[in-house]
Chains A and B, each alone.
Chain A
C-alpha cells in the first residue's frame, strides 16, 4: 500500500517539486539497515516517540499553565493554582499533566539505554564520532529542559532545586555571578525566574527537534552500526520498511503499554517522577528536610557532592559530562563491539554500575556510608575515562567475524 502511495500521480507531482518521494525512499522506506540489529536498536525511535509525546502534551499544558510566582491564598501561587486547575477543571487535564510528567522520566530512561547501547557496541567509533557528539549535545539540552520544566509547578522541590542548581552556576569563577543573575532575573529565585524558565522550557525542545534532525542526518550519512560492530556489505542490509517499521512499531507498542501503566496507575512513579514535596507550595523560608534533583539527574548530582570543595565539585560535575564527548577519541581500539572486547566489556559494565550506584546515592540522604560509596563510584566513573586509552590500546580482542 505504501508502494502504491509512493507511485501515485499526486506523489509524482509533489516529488517533481520537492523530491519528497525520493527522500522518503532514501531515508525511510528503502533505507538500508543491517539485518542483525537487536532490540537495543529500538531506543532511538522510542526516544523520538517520547519527544513527540512531550511536545504534544507540553503545548496543550501551556494553554492553561500560568508562569507566575505571585502569591495566592493558602500559601500557593498563580502557577501552582494553574496546575491544580489543569488537574481538576480542564477536561482530561489530569491525563495530559501525567503524560508530561511520566514522559519526562520515560525520555531519560530511553535515552540512557540508547547511550548505553552506543557505549557497549562501539557506535561512537569512526566514522560515527560526530553522530555521538551530537547525541551528547542532545543529552545536555534534555537535562537543561528538564531542569527548567521542574521549576514550573512552583512546589517546594521546584523552588529549592532551582536555588541549589542556580547557586552551582554562581560558583563558577569570574562569570558566576553574572550567569546567576541572568538565570534568576533577580536576587533570589522568584517570579522573573519562573517566567523565563517557562520560556526556555518551551524553546529547548524545539531546538531539540532541529538537532534530532541533524542527528538522523549524520546517522544516515554513515549508516547504522550493528551488534557485531563490523562493517557490513549491502547484501546484509534490508530495507527499513517493512522490517524495521514493523519492529520499531512493536517496540513502541510495548513501550506505550509500560508508559500507560505509569500514567494511569502510578503517575508519581513511587514519588520519583513527581516528588511528594512538590505538592507543598514553594516556601522560601522553609527548606525541605531532603533536597535531591529528580532521579535522572542524580548521578551527576552525586558526583558534585562527592567533593567537599564547592568549586571542585562543580568542575567535576561539568567534567563528568564533558568527558562523554571525548569517548570516540579516548578509545584507541579498532574493534567496535564489546562482544569481541572482553576487557573493555568489563570496564564499560563497571561504568554502567557506577552510574546506577551514583544515581542511588544522589537520591538518598547522605549518610556516612553512602558518602563513601558515592566517592568510590565517582572514582570508578572517572577511572573509565582514564583507563579507556590504555585498555583499548593493549586489550586482547576476540576474533571478529568477517560477516554476519
Chain B
C-alpha cells in the first residue's frame, strides 16, 4: 500500500513537471491572452475577417464553403455562403486567388495554408499576438511593416494585415476584436470536432469512473476469500 502511494506520488510529480515544461514558452516575449471563444457570433465575425483580409494571400483548404453552413458552430446561411464563394463550387476549400508564384515575387515566400496553423504554432494566442505585434524596430534595422515582436527573428514577410502599426486609438478595440475573432475562427477550423470531442469525453470519463468503482468493489469482494 505504501509502495503504491509512493509510486503514485512520484508519477504525479513527473506528470506535473512534464505539463509545466510543456506549457512554458519556448523563449521569446510573453504572449497576449485573448478570450478565444467559439460561439457563433465570434466565429461568423472570424469568417468575415478571414475571407475579407486573410484570403487575399492565405488559403485554408481543409474548410469548404459548404462546411461554413454545415458546421452548426458556424452556421452561416446559404445566401451568406453564396456571396462568399462567388463562382466557386460549394464543395471547394477556401483557396486564395494569389498564386504561389506571384506570392514569391511579391513577398519572397509562399504564405502558408492556415487550416491547422493554430496547432502547428503556439496556439491561437500566438496568432492573436502576431496580428497585434507589428511595431517599430528599436534597433532601426528591420523596416516598419515587417518588424513584429512575436515572430521568431522579428522580421516577418507578411505585411501588417490589420494595419495595427500606428493605428488610431479609437480603432484599437475594433482591431483587437478582429484579431480575436479570426484567431478563434482559426482555432475552430484547426479541429472542427473539438467541442463534440469534449462533450462526448465528459460522458465517457463519467462512465469509466463508474465502471472502475464497480470493479474496485468487485475486486475487494472477491478477494475477501484470500488472506492477504
Partners in one complex: yes
Binding site for B on A (CB under 8 A): 35-36, 38-40, 73-76, 84, 87-88, 94-95, 98, 238, 242-243, 246-247, 249-250, 253-254, 256-257, 260-261, 263-265, 267-268, 270-272, 276-280, 289, 356
The 0/1 profile, CB within 8 Å of A marked 1, for residues 170-210 of chain B is 00000000000000000000111100011011101100110
Q: Report the minimal beta-carbon distance from B129 to chain A, rounded to whole angstroms.
A: 16
Q: Which residues of A contact B198 (CB under 8 A)?
A: 264-265
Q: Are the C-beta atoms of B212 and A74 separated by less than 8 Å? A: no
**Residue of B110, B190, B212 ringed by the most chain A CB atoms within 10 A:** B212
Q: What does DSSP make chain A's interface, helix, strand, loop or mixed? A: helix
Q: Are the C-beta atoms of A257 and B119 separated by less than 8 Å? A: no
Residue in contact with B120 in the complex, picked from A88, A247, A279, CB distance below 8 Å: A279
The 0/1 profile, CB within 8 Å of A marked 1, for residues 206-224 of chain B is 0011011001101100110
| A257-B112 contact, Cβ under 8 Å, with A38-B3, A271-B22 | no
Q: Which residues of B contact A76 (CB under 8 A)?
A: 61, 113
Closest B residue to A238 using CB positions: B226
Binding site for A on B (CB under 8 A): 3-4, 7, 14, 18-19, 22-23, 59, 61-62, 95, 110, 112-113, 115-116, 119-122, 152, 190-193, 197-198, 200-202, 204-205, 208-209, 211-212, 215-216, 218-219, 222-223, 226, 228
Residue in contact with B19 in the complex, picked from A35, A257, A270, A276, CB distance below 8 Å: A270
Q: Which residues of B contact A253 (CB under 8 A)?
A: 208, 211-212, 215-216
Q: Are the C-beta atoms of B212 and A257 separated by less than 8 Å? A: yes
- Given A95-B200, A257-B205, A270-B23, 10 new contacts (CB under 8 A): A35-B228, A94-B197, A249-B215, A253-B211, A257-B212, A260-B208, A263-B201, A276-B121, A278-B120, A279-B116
Q: Are the C-beta atoms of B204 and A74 separated by less than 8 Å? A: no
CA–CA, A115 and B95, complex, Å: 51
Q: Which residues of B contact A35 (CB under 8 A)?
A: 226, 228
Q: What does DSSP make chain B's interface, helix, strand, loop or mixed? A: helix
Q: Which residues of B contact A256 (CB under 8 A)?
A: 208, 211
Q: Which residues of A contact B200 (CB under 8 A)?
A: 95, 264
CA–CA, A370 and B219, complex, Å: 46
Q: Are the C-beta atoms of B14 and A356 separated by less than 8 Å? A: yes
Q: Are the C-beta atoms of B212 and A88 separated by less than 8 Å? A: no
CA–CA, A268 and B23, complex, Å: 12
Q: Report the minimal beta-carbon distance from A23 to chain B, rounded to whole angstroms.
A: 24
Q: Report the minimal beta-carbon distance from B39 to chain A, rounded to whole angstroms.
A: 20
Q: Which residues of A contact B110 (CB under 8 A)?
A: 75
Residue in contact with A73 in the complex, picked from B95, B192, B223, CB distance below 8 Å: B95
CA–CA, A74 and B110, complex, Å: 9
Q: Are the C-beta atoms of A272 and B226 separated by less than 8 Å? A: no
Q: Which residues of B contact A265 (CB under 8 A)?
A: 198, 201
Closest A residue to B204 using CB positions: A260
Q: Which residues of A contact B212 (CB under 8 A)?
A: 250, 253-254, 257
Q: Which residues of B contact A271 (CB under 8 A)?
A: 22
- Top-5 shortest CB links A-B: A264-B201, A270-B22, A74-B113, A279-B120, A253-B212
Q: Are the C-beta atoms of A257 and B209 separated by less than 8 Å? A: yes
| A270-B113 contact, Cβ under 8 Å, with A94-B197, A242-B222, A279-B120 | no
Q: Which residues of B contact A247 (CB under 8 A)?
A: 219, 223
| A87-B193 contact, Cβ under 8 Å, with A75-B112, A246-B219 | yes
Q: Which residues of A contact B61 (CB under 8 A)?
A: 73-74, 76
CA–CA, A163 and B163, complex, Å: 41
Q: Report the minimal beta-carbon distance from A254 to chain B, rounded to whole angstroms.
A: 5
Q: Report the minimal beta-carbon distance from A108 to chain B, rounded to whole angstroms.
A: 14
Q: Report the minimal beta-carbon distance from A94 to chain B, rounded to whole angstroms.
A: 5
